[in-house]
Structure 1
Amino acid sequence: MFSLTALLLCPTVAALSWDILHPGADPDHGKDMLQIVRDKKYPIEEHHIETEDGYVLTIFRIPHGLGSNQVGAPVLVQHALLCSSFDWVNNPANESLAFVLADAGFDVWLGNNRGGPWGRSHTSRETDSEEFWDFTIDHMALFDLPAHVDYVLRATGQPSLSYIGHSEGTIQAFAGFSRNSTLSSKVNLFVAFAPMAYAHHQTSLVFGALAYLDVSQLFEMFGMHEFLPQGGVLNKVAPGICGPLGALCANSIELFCGKSHDLNATRMPIYLAQTPAGTSVKNMAHWAQLIKHDRFGMWDFGSKEDNMKHYGEEGPPGYKLSDLTVPTALYTGGLDILSNPRDVQKLIYELPTTTLIHHKVIDSYAHLDFSWGQDAARLLYPDVIAQLKAYRGDDFQV
C-alpha cells in the first residue's frame, strides 16, 4: 500500500546529515510574522475574535502603508489549506501582498482559520481533545468566515469590505457566500486566487493518495486530531536542509502543490519554517471526499442514517454556486495542478453570469505562486488592486 506517512515525512531523512543550526543569513530567518512586519517598519495590530461555536482566532491588521497614516478601505485576506496569515508577509515588502496592499492605500486584515497556529484556542474545548479537531471546511465557511467579516466591519465602522482568498480561502468563501445572503451583502468584491470548489481533476500526489483512502482509514492512520501542525518535524528541519538541499525541499512541496517556476528558492527556509501550519485530519478527509466524489458540498457522515440525523436528508447538502451574488474576480494558473482548469470551468459554468466580473489566467503560475511567487508584484498584484479600487463600493466612508 502507498505509504502516505513516509511521503509526507521524506524530507526528514536527509536532514540528519546536515547541521540545522546554521540555516543562512537571511534577515527574516527565525522570525515570526509579527517580527517580520515590525522589522519592515509597517504597523501591525493583533486582534482576537470568537466564532459562534467557540473557537478563538487571531486576525492581524496592517492599517496603512509606509507612505501615509491614512486608513483606507478594508480588505480581508484569507490563506490556503495548511497555511496561515504568514503567507502574505513571507517575501520582501515589494513582493508580499499584505505590504503591497497597505502601500496602495488599503486597510489590510489577515485572517486565520481554526486549527492553524493562530487558531488553537477554544472557550471550552482543550486543544488536545478530539472535540477541538472535529471540524471541516463547513465550519470555516459557516463560522470562521462570518466571524472575520463581522469583526472587521465592527472595528472599522465600514458597511462592507473586499475579500481575497487563496485555495481553501476561496472554497470557504464560495460555500459561505452562497449559503448566507446576509454575509454576502457585507462583501463588495470576492477575489479568488487558485479558486477551489470542485477538485476532482487535481493531480497532486498527496491529495490523490488521500482521496484513494476511505475516511475510516484516514482516521485509523492519524486519529481525530491535527494534521501536519506548525512546529512539527517538517518546520524544525526545513530551515537547515533547504539551503544545502533546496531541490529536496522543492520536490517535497511539489508532492502537494505541483512544480512552480516562480518561487524564490533562497527563501525556502523561511517559507517552510512556518508551513505546513496544520489543520484537522477531518478537514483533510473532507477534501478527500470532494476530490473522490466530484462534488461541492458539506461533510458526508458516511451513511444515509447519519446524514438524515444531521441534515434531514440522506445525502450531504451541496453548496449552490448559482446562489452566489458577490461580484467575483477569478485568478487562475495555467500550471496549477490543484485548481485544475477543468474544475475551474465547472465552477465558472455554475456561477451566475452577473457574478463573475473578471477572470485573469496567468499561464506560468502554479498553485503556490499566488501567495509565494516572487513575480506577483508584476504579474498579479497590479490587476488585483485595479479590481479592488473599481469594486470597493460607493459606501466606503473616508
Structure 2
Amino acid sequence: MVRVPSEGPAIFLMHGLLGCADDWVVAGTESGMAYLLANEGYDVWMGNARGNKHSRTHETKDPSTYDFWDFSWDEIGRYDLPAMIDYVLDTKNHTHLIYVGHSQGSTAFFVMASELSAYNDKISLMIALSAPTAIPNMKSPFLNFLKIVTLFHPEHLFSLAREMGIYEFLPSTDLVKHFTPIVCGTEELAEIICGNIMFLFCGFDAAQLNMTQLPVIFSHQPSGASIKQVEHYSQAVLSGKFRRFDHGETKNVEKYGSKMPPEYPVENITTPIVLFYSDNDWLVSYDDTEALRKRLQNVVEMYQVPYPHFNHVDYLFAKDVKTLVFNKLSSVINDYL
C-alpha cells in the first residue's frame, strides 16, 4: 500500500485492472484524486492488487510460474482487500473507513462485501467510480473481439495462453519499460499511438485528456495483471452474470457443488453505496450499472457524470475531474463522516 498520512479520517482507494496505486497521483497535484483528498485533510491509503508492478513478491511462489498467477479479482476481493482494510483500521485504531474503487477496485469490493458480511460494518461508505460486475453491454472493441473469439469455446483462448506459458497480461517488464518510452515518450507519439489505443479500450474523449500528461501516464501504465483476471471479466461479458470464476462443469462441482459457478449475493451488501457512471464509458454501460443498482439494497445515489464524452479512465486523468467528479465525491463523503 501507499499512504499520504494525516490525522484525518481514513480513505482507501483501490485501482482498476492493469493499474496500481500510481493511478491516483499521476495526474498531478491539481487533479490527482489522492492529492485532492489529502488537501481536504483525509488520511489517504492506496491499495495495490496482487501481481501488479508493486506486488510481485511472494514467500514461496515465483512470478515466472503459473502458480503465482492463479488468481482473479475474486481472490483480490476475498483475501487481499480484507487484509489491507484491516491493516488500515488497526493502524488508525478506527472501526471503519471510506472506500473508493475505480473499475476493478469496485468489482473487488462487491466480491468482498457480498461474501464477507463483517466488512459491511467496516466500510461507512463505498463510492464506485464505474462498477463492472455483470457487463454484457460493454462497448469496448477489444473486449468485444474477445467475446466473438471465445463465444463458442470461451476457455480455448486462455487455455492456449497458459499452454504457451503466458500467465500475465500486459506486464510492467523491462522490455515494456524500454518499449513504452519509444512509442509513448513524446507528447506527439503518445497522442497518436498510445492515446488512441487507450480510447479503443475505454471510449474516446480527446477533449478531457491532457496530452502533455500522456508520456507521464504511460510511464506508469500498464502495471500488469493476471490473465485470469481478464478471463473472469470475459466470463461476465458472455454470461451477463456477476458470479465466481467458471472452471468448467467438472471442477465447478468439486469447488462449488454445482455445475455452474454461484452468483455473488450482492443483495446482502448493507454498506451505503454511491454509483458513478458516464455515458461514454465503453467498459461499463448505463444499462449494466442500472442492472447492478436493482440488485443492490443500499444504493444511496446513482450519479451521472455531467459530461457526455466522459470515458472509463477520465475518472483518473480528465482535465476537469475536479468539477465533474471530485466535488460530488467530496460532498457525498462529508455526508457520511
Say whether residues 1:326 and 2:268 are aligned partners: no
Q: Larger deviation: 216-225 or 268-277?
A: 216-225
Cα 1:351–1:138 shift into 2, 3 Å: same
3-state SS of paired residue (1:148):
helix
1:37-116 alignment runs, 5 A limit: 59-64=1-6, 71-116=7-52
CA RMSD of aligned residues (A): 1.4
Cα 1:231–1:373 shift into 2, 3 Å: farther
Of 151, 156, 161, the residue aligned with 1:216 is: 156
Distance apart, 1:313 and its partner CA: 1.7
Letter in 2 for 1:376: V
**Is the Cα–Cα contact under 8 Å of residues 239 and 270 in structure 1 kept in the other structure?**
no
Deviations 1:306-337 (A, max 9, x none): 10101122210101221111000111111111
Of 242, 245, 258, the residue aligned with 1:313 is: 258
| Greater share of helix | 2
Aligned to 2:300: 357
Provide the C-alpha distance between the structure 1 equivalents of 2:166 and 2:71, rounded to a whole number of angstroms.
10
Say whether residues 1:265 and 2:208 are aligned partners: no
**Is the Cα–Cα contact under 8 Å of residues 235 and 275 in structure 1 kept in the other structure?**
no
Of 367, 386, 389, the residue aligned with 2:312 is: 367
Letter in 1 for 2:158: L
Distance apart, 1:239 and its partner CA: 3.0
Rg bigger for which structure?
A: 1
Provide the C-alpha distance between the structure 1 equivalents of 2:321 and 2:166, rounded to a whole number of angstroms.
37
Provide the C-alpha distance between the structure 2 equivalents of 1:92 and 1:135, rounded to a whole number of angstroms.
32
Provide the C-alpha distance between the structure 1 equivalents of 2:125 and 2:110, rounded to a whole number of angstroms.
12
Uncovered stretches (5+) of structure 2, i.e. residues with no partner: none
Distance apart, 1:192 and its partner CA: 0.3
3-state SS of paired residue (1:72):
coil
Instruction: State the TM-score, normalized to the length of structure 1.
Output: 0.79
Say whether residues 1:230 and 2:166 are aligned partners: no
Aligned to 1:175: 111
Provide the C-alpha distance between the structure 2 equivalents of 1:186 and 1:273, rounded to a whole number of angstroms.
35
Distance apart, 1:107 and its partner CA: 0.2
Say whether residues 1:389 and 2:334 are aligned partners: yes
**Is the Cα–Cα contact under 8 Å of residues 94 and 100 in structure 1 kept in the other structure?**
yes
Distance apart, 1:219 and its partner CA: 2.8
Say whether residues 1:198 and 2:198 are aligned partners: no
Uncovered stretches (5+) of structure 1, i.e. residues with no partner: 1-58, 65-70, 393-398
Q: Larger deviation: 215-224 or 271-280?
A: 215-224
Aligned to 1:294: 240
Provide the C-alpha distance between the structure 1 equivalents of 2:288 and 2:36, rounded to a whole number of angstroms.
30
Provide the C-alpha distance between the structure 2 equivalents of 1:188 and 1:253, rounded to a whole number of angstroms.
33
Aligned to 1:45: none
Provide the C-alpha distance between the structure 2 equivalents of 1:85 and 1:308, rounded to a whole number of angstroms.
37
Aligned to 1:68: none
3-state SS of paired residue (1:299):
coil
Instruction: State the TM-score, normalized to the length of structure 2.
Output: 0.93
